Amino acid sequence: MKWIIVFAFLTITSLSLYAQSGENVFYLKDNGEFVTSVDSADFIRVIERADSGSVNFKLVEYFKNGKVKTLGSVSSFYPFLIYEGSLVRYKMNGAKEAMFNYQNNQLVDKSYLFFENGALKKITEYALDDRRYKVEKTMYMADSLGNVMVKDGNGHFKEFFKSPDQKELLSLEGDYAAGFSDGVWFATNVSGTYWYKEQFDKGKFVSGESSKDGQNYKYTIQEEAPSYKKGIAAFFTYLKQNLKYPNAAWQAGIQGKVFLNFVVEKDGSISDVKVARSLNPDLDAEAIRVVQRSTGWIPGKQHGFPVRVKFNIPVTFSISR
C-alpha cells in the first residue's frame, strides 16, 4: 500500500511539472465532465507541445494508477479534442483496448478492437462510396477464444452483452455480407421481456419492430436524438430571451461560452444539468437555471421506444457595448 501511495504521488508530481513547463493538464470524469482536482477526477489528460515540424499536439491520458489510458495526437483541444493520426486506447491493467486512425476528427483507414486477453475482436474499415459518402464496413469479428465469426466482411455474428445498466444479459445476432449488416437482425434479453427485430439491405436499415414490457413498437428510424419541439434554433432563442447577465460578471466584462450537459428523460423532461466546462461561477449558475426551466423537449428513441439521452450544448454570454 505504501508503494501505491508513493507511486501516485510521483505521478501527480510529474503532471504538475508538465504544467510548470507550459503544458496543459486537465482533470476529467469518465463522462467527460471537467473537474478542478485530481482527487475528484477519473483520469488525467495532458496536452504536450507539438514536436518540431508538426502542427499537432501530443495527447496523453492517464488513469489515476499512473498507467497510460490514451496515446495520440490532436490538432485542437479547446473546446473539444480534434483527433489526428493514430490513436491507441488502453485498459486500466495496461492491455491494449483499441486502435484508431483519424483525419480531422473523422475515422479513416481501419480500426481494431481487442478483448481483455489481448485477442483481436473486431476490424472495421472506413471508406467512401460512389457518392463520396463515408461508409463503415465490419471486416472481421471473433470471440475471446479466437473463433472467427466474420472474415473478409462475410459471416454470421452472435454476441452476448450486458445492458447499459449492467442488470441484464442480452443477445444479438445477424449476418454480414461484404462488410454490411444484411437481412434480419434480432436482439433479446434472457427473460424475453425486451426484444427487437430489424431488417437491413446491404447495410441500410429498412424497418424494425420491438417490444418492451408488453408494449410493441414499429419504426423506420433506428435511433432518434432528442429534439426541441420547435427546432434547435427556437431553443437558442429561448436561451437568449431568458438569460439574465449576472451583474458582477457584466461589470468584470466576462463573456464566452458555458458548456453544459444534461439528460432528456423518456417523458421529455430535463434532469442532471451539469457544467462540462466552466466560464465563471455566476454565469455557470445562470446557464443551469435557464436550461433547467426549459420545456418542450421530444425524447430520444432507440429501436422504437423512448430512452434517456445525454445532451450537450454551449450557452453563450456576450456583452454588447
**Residue partners of 125: CB distance under 8 A and separation at least 6:** 109, 110, 136, 137, 139, 179
Please report the pLDDT score of residue 78 as a whole number.
80
Residues 317, 283 contacting (CB under 8 angstroms): yes
State whether residue 244 is helix, strand or coil. coil
What percent of the chain is predicted at pLDDT more than 70? 91
Q: How far apart are CA 78 and CA 256, in angstroms?
A: 13
State whether residue 3 is helix, strand or coil. helix
Residue type, 258: V
pLDDT grade, residue 21 (50/70/90)?
Answer: low
Q: Which element (helix H / strand E) includes 290? A: helix 281-292
Please report the pLDDT score of residue 10 as a whole number.
31
Please report the pLDDT score of residue 22 as a whole number.
55
Quick count: other Cβ atoms within 10 Å of Cβ 303? 21
pLDDT grade, residue 166 (50/70/90)?
Answer: low
Q: What is the mean pLDDT of residues 231-237?
A: 92
Max CA-CA distance within the chain? Answer: 67
Rg of the chain taking only CA atoms, in angstroms: 23
Quick count: other Cβ atoms within 10 Å of Cβ 281? 12
Q: What is the mean pLDDT of residues 23-38?
A: 90
Question: Has residue 223 got a pLDDT over 50?
Answer: yes
Quick count: other Cβ atoms within 10 Å of Cβ 152? 10
Specify the range with the lowest mean pLDDT, choosing from 11-15, 80-84, 217-221: 11-15
Question: Has residue 214 got a pLDDT over 60?
Answer: yes
Residue among 307, 309, 303, 306 nearest 221 (CA)? 303
Mean pLDDT, rounded, of the chain: 88
Question: Has residue 65 got a pLDDT over 70?
Answer: yes
In the chain the domains, ranked by start, together with CATH numbers, are 1-88 (no CATH), 227-317 (3.30.2420.10)
Q: Which three cell numbers stand for residue 203?
A: 447495410
Question: Has residue 16 got a pLDDT over 90?
Answer: no
The model's pTM is 0.73
Q: What is the mean pLDDT of residues 57-81?
A: 93
Residue type, 312: N
Please report the pLDDT score of residue 165 as a whole number.
67
Q: How far apart are CA 44 and CA 210, in angstroms?
A: 41
